[in-house]
Amino acid sequence: MSTNSTNICAHRGDSSRFRENTIVAIKSAIDSGAAVVEIDVRISKDGKVVVIHDPTLERIWGLDRNVSEVNWSEISQLGAGENKVPLLSDVLPLFENSKSVL
């Protein structure tokens, strides 16, 4: 008898229920028991490490500008609450007491 196990990888967090790569999507993936949570990072114009997949802000956030050409102060105004573009430094603490791996 073989013992097979399946591990779930949450691509950009729980992106089927929430905007990808947001705090709420990442928390949901962790709370759902995902073994791995995959995220993406880019660097803003002022050197902040932001959690976003695309090189531009257009597809998810409706702003036709490259992440690398926009300061964090402007990026941080997109969305609301936990449904915003987070900094990597805001995401890392979510994994401190989690069984999920980033």
Q: Which residues are catalytic?
A: 11, 53
Pair 13, 39: CB distance under 8 Å: yes
Residue type, 34: A
Name the strand (E) or helix (H) holding 57. strand 56-57
Q: How far apart are CA 21 and CA 84, in angstroms?
A: 9
Among residues 39, 55, 46, 47, the alpha carbon closest in space to that of 92 is found at 39
